Amino acid sequence: MKKSKKLIVLAILSALCLLIVPGCKKGDDKSGTGGEGKTIEITHWYWADNSDYSAKMQEIAKTFNETNGKNIKVKAEEYPWDGGGYSETLFTAAMGGGGPDTAAWKLTSTPLFVANKLLAELDGFINNWADKDDIEENLWDVMKQAGGSDKIYVMPWNTQVLYVYYRPSMFKAAGVSVPKTYEEFLEACKKLTRDTDGDGKIDVYGFGMRGAKGGQEPWGSFIWARGGNFTDFTTPEAIQGMQDFIDLFKKGYTPPTAPTDGFNEIIANFKSGKTAMTIHHIGSSSGMVETFGDDVDAFVFPAGKGQWTSMGDTENVIFESCKNKEAAFEWVSYLATGKGQEEWCITTGNVPVSKRVQAMDFFQNNKFMKVSIEGAPYAGIFPILDTTTEWINTVWPNTVAAALTGQKTAAQAMEELQKGLYGDKK
Amino acid sequence: MIPKPKEVRSLHERKAGIWPYLLVAPALLIVVAVVFIPVLNAILMSFQSYDLRRPSDIAFIGFNNYIAVFKDTLFWQSVLRTVIWVVFGVGFQFVFGFCLALLLNKNFKGRGLVRSVSLIPWVTPGVLIGLMWRWIYDGSYGVLNDLLMKMHIIEDPIPFLARQGTSFPAVIVTIIWQGIPFFAIMLLAGLQGVPHELYEAADIDGANVFSKFFHITVPCLRNTIYVTTLLRIIWVANSVDVIYNMTGGGPAYATQTLSVYVFNKANALNLGYSSTMSIMLTLILLMVAIPYLKTMFRNQEA
Amino acid sequence: MERRQSVISRILFLFLPLILLLLFILFPFYWTFVTSIKPEMELYGKTVTYWPRNVTFDAYKSLFVDYNFVKPMINSFIVAATTTVVTLTVATLASYAFSRYRFKGRKALMVMFLTNNMFPTVLLLIPLYAIMRKLGILYTPIALVLAYTTFTIPFSVWLLNGYLNDLPMSLEEAALVDGANRPQAFIRIVLPILIPCLVATGVYIFMNAWNEYTFAVMFTNEKSRTIPVSLRNLIGQLGVQWDLLTAGGIITIIPVCVMFFFAQKRLVEGLTAGAVKG
């Protein structure tokens, strides 16, 4: 009888093993090499900001597959943006030995991936690439900076320059003209805050402030306008910029929800007429025009002592684990300067990185594109360090919310922001 | 197989042999096979400066992470917040869930329908819960503000999630909402095991509703109540997605519970530090669980 | 007189609290639905409307036509159903052992099961991904089932153990005296009484697997995507597509509720059938 029990144990154990083992035999079926067949498969990960973008990306991949003439087959797989969680998903997969061959990218994740040796170096490809000069020299510099060395790991794709959206009709009603200096801008925020129907309650706010994640981008313009910069947040100029930001909220020139307002809220507030100005890039312009027709326009964030606006970015990368990097480069360069660039930028309204595409009529005749290009000389990015992602995701929103709600002074908040980005070392 | 007993012996006194191990084996194998290595790995990481943003600096640093965690004011604030989160969250889930279970156990028309619709909060995916409640609480277009203003309870809209004082209660209400069906269903199932005879006997004695509840229902469900609340405490203490989707832990860390803090740190890829905090969280939960387990095991022995 | 009182007490103790609780539970759902049929302009309008002035079902159409939302639903269903069956089977066996046997290492094993769920899952992701990849099951439903069962089994073992401990042992003991063996006693006596509890636990398991996101986004690809991932694909950098998101939510909620409508009868049937005999 004891024997039979042992047999049962054995039977159960082996049954469980059988469940697991057959999987092992299949082994690693990661795509990347074409194998004995001639087609080369490239897996590409991307996120889509809305359903049109999603459809467009699939279309671009399809066209590329049909026209590349080298038997490269790109399989574009969509992953949720998830408030930036996209990069973590990508990282987890790559660290676990899986992940795609190429992927859509944000510069801020570059140090992390480079430090873990996950990205393929692109210099060799780029130096031999006919279209290299179609992309501005300074963009290549930005790509190098992000990697923290002279090497390029990131292929430019498109950029968005932040500017100020405003409602001409509200400006007219409040007797405000488009601000030319930073002081005028602050003044405009005040004047545009109005009780329009005389019920004693404010119903239009001057400025739609973004206090939640992502708000660091418009916020940066305030810091620079006072003469501050991002290498030291604790200078009196930078603190003054922070103080201006806090004052706008405290004095009630922004909606009271500002500390938690993210992209959704600032755009909704602007579209519903609750705010007269807000800061975002061209990506939201088509929606604005749909709502307001001609009653929406834009200007570059004006200069004070200094001038800066944020450059949003999207790039593409090739992973070190990709087995056919030539084919992968073919694909990412198609997105950077080829037909893929044209199609994507027309659909999304993003600023092309290819000079050839920039010169196309579509981009030259768009008033928001004009403002974007006008702002480009002042456009920059936050210092890209390995701490940047955490700083953007948690340090900035929480510290600024504490400053806005009066738990911290401007100077204390800036001290904390400095520490969050650069650590304790000065 | 089992020799017939000559006298009545309780199940527990019977010789167990290898059977219980055999019965537990499949469950144990699946669990151990999958999590053993990852958990071990996480424990090891807590003794290292395991920050994937600086892979070249990874080294064993002994208890330095633990010391750093102990000195971290944000950590202690999150612990306190987790306690409030669990006490109010699970507490109200339990009360409302129990009420609902008792109501759903009664006979009335359309009971089946009511039972299935009360499951809705539980069926709703976490993303949607976070976003919908955020939308309900919205300070500009939110329906809650509109309702309160129509009822003349408030005059101006309150930006619930943007304020220090209101954001945490607001997310707690959401987790309560989400957890009611769990208790309702679990306790409803447990109620089916309460013998009717007990109620009938109590009716003859003229007992009222409350004494029946406290003297029959609760004692009969004792183990179920123990287990469901314990499991729910663990689950709620570990839950991230509701808070993460509603506030991300803000404003100014006002809604950052320990699990959200761990999540944020892990997303920042400081895995050593977040492992340390996870181990602390596990220890705290164990501290809560041990008295529970002691009473439970004692009850079983009795 | 007495009758009237019972009507009043029925209203006071049954319908009134029930309606209040249901209002709380259902209002967010109602609001989700209203949002899904509101045009965007009305969503951000000056006044909040409780029923849209212009009803539109475009979002639903688009989900089925452009998004093929049925596929992730089927995937989710396969994963959730398999997880439920596997978990229930092994958890019932284990919990029976924990409840009805006294053996060495019992408490230790139970505590081990419990601690398994105390550890936050984010930290296990990278090694788990590597394990799934080495097993060659990455991007197949098996990966998700395996990951989910790891976390549903311990909970279910505990839940079922709790229920079993609340069931009197005298019935089984009597059966054993009558000459049945343990498996027979379990199947004939315990299982019928346990059905409501199995249904409840099953619902718990199903829900967990149905709504899980963190593992789902890592262990699936385009082909094996589940609902929570598809829903989150609707939130981009340019904000939330409210209409699609809420419509997607409604579409995922309703079938589960309908399924539960049929299961819930079992939730109360068990004992009435089994216990009367005893």
Question: Domain residues of chain A, as ranges?
Answer: 40-160+312-373, 163-310+382-422
Q: Averaged over B254-277, what is the pLDDT?
A: 91
Mutation test of the interface with chain B: which of A398, A416, A421, choosing the one with the most B Cβ atoms within 10 A? A398
Q: Averaged over B32-60, what is the pLDDT?
A: 88
- DSSP code per residue over B215-281: IIIHHHTHHHHHHHHHHHHHHHHH--HHHHHHTTT-STTTT--HHHHHHHHHHTTBHHHHHHHHHHH
Decide if A112 contacts A389 (C-beta within 8 A).
Answer: yes
Query: Can you state the percent helix, strand and coil of chain B, rounding each to 5?
Result: 75, 0, 25
Percent share of chain C, pLDDT over 90: 27
Across the interface, of B1, B19, B252, the residue whose CB is closest to A402 is: B252
Across the interface, of B5, B112, B300, the residue whose CB is closest to C165 is: B300
Within a domain: B5: no
Q: Which of C38, C56, C74 is the last residue of a domain?
A: C56
Residues C122 and C229 occupy one common structural domain: yes
Residues C152 and C176 occupy one common structural domain: yes
Q: Averaged over A69-79, what is the pLDDT?
A: 92
Residue C94: CATH number of its domain: 1.10.3720.10
Within a domain: B79: yes
B25: which chain A residues are within 8 Å (Cβ-Cβ)? Answer: 9, 12-13
Residues C29 and C79 occupy one common structural domain: no
Within a domain: C12: no
pLDDT at A201: 85
pLDDT in tens, A102-114: 999 999 899 999 9
Residues C49 and C183 occupy one common structural domain: no
Distance, CA of B116 to CA of C19 (rounded, Å):
15
**Which class in CATH covers the domain with range A40-160+312-373?**
alpha beta
Helix (H) and strand (E) counts for chain C?
14, 2
C233 to A79: CB separation less than 8 angstroms, yes or no: yes
Is the predicted pLDDT of residue A4 greater than 70, yes or no? Answer: no
Q: Please give, rounded to a whole number of angstroms, the shortest distance from the CA of B39 to a CA of chain C.
A: 7
Residues 6+ apart with CB under 8 A from C143: C132, C135, C137, C219, C220
Is the predicted pLDDT of residue A74 greater than 80, yes or no? Answer: yes
Residues C52 and C116 occupy one common structural domain: no
Q: How far is CA C111 from CA B36, B184, B204, C107, C154, in A?
A: 15, 25, 43, 6, 10
Distance, CA of C77 to CA of C83 (rounded, Å):
10
The total number of structural domains that make up chain B: 1
- DSSP code per residue over A333-390: HHHHHSHHHHHHHHHH-PEESBHHHHTSHHHHT-HHHHHHHHHGGGEE-----TTHHH
Closest residue in A to C228 (Cα–Cα): A80
Hey, do A40-160+312-373 and A163-310+382-422 end up sharing a CATH topology, with the first three levels equal? yes
Check if A256 contacts B (Cβ < 8 Å).
Answer: yes
Query: Can you state the percent helix, strand and coil of chain C, rounding each to 5?
Result: 80, 0, 20
> Across all residues in chain A, what is the average pLDDT?
87
Strands A40-46 and A102-105: parallel
pLDDT at B6: 44
pLDDT at B155: 84
Distance, CA of A163 to CA of A311 (rounded, Å):
10
Residue B276: CATH number of its domain: 1.10.3720.10
Residues C90 and C123 occupy one common structural domain: yes
Assign B187 a pLDDT band (cuts: 50, 70, 90): very high
Within a domain: B13: no
Q: Please give, rounded to a whole number of angstroms, the shortest distance from the CA of A235 to a CA of chain B.
A: 23
DSSP 8-state secondary structure symbol assigned to residue B159: -
pLDDT at B261: 93
A50: which chain C residues are within 8 Å (Cβ-Cβ)? Answer: 236, 238, 241
Decide if A353 contacts A341 (C-beta within 8 A).
Answer: yes
- Looking at the predicted complex, does its ipTM rise above 0.90? no
Assign B111 a pLDDT band (cuts: 50, 70, 90): confident
Within a domain: B28: no
Q: Please give, rounded to a whole number of angstroms, the shortest distance from the CA of A397 to a CA of chain B.
A: 7
Check if B41 contacts A (Cβ < 8 Å).
Answer: no
B275 to C264: CB separation less than 8 angstroms, yes or no: no
The total number of structural domains that make up chain C: 2
Check if A195 contacts B (Cβ < 8 Å).
Answer: no
C236 to A97: CB separation less than 8 angstroms, yes or no: no
Q: Name the residue range of residue B106's domain.
A: 73-301
B140 to A274: CB separation less than 8 angstroms, yes or no: yes
pLDDT at B301: 66
More confident: C79 or C167: C79
**Which class in CATH covers the domain with range A163-310+382-422?**
alpha beta
Mutation test of the interface with chain C: which of B119, B149, B226, choosing the one with the most C Cβ atoms within 10 A? B119
Assign A116 a pLDDT band (cuts: 50, 70, 90): very high
pLDDT in tens, C44-91: 877 888 888 888 888 888 888 877 888 999 999 999 999 999 999 999
Question: 0.80 exceeded by the pTM?
Answer: yes
pLDDT in tens, A193-229: 999 888 888 889 999 999 988 899 999 999 999 999 9
Q: Name the residue range of residue C113's domain.
A: 57-277
B33 to A20: CB separation less than 8 angstroms, yes or no: yes
How many CB atoms lie under 10 A from the CB of residue B14? Answer: 18
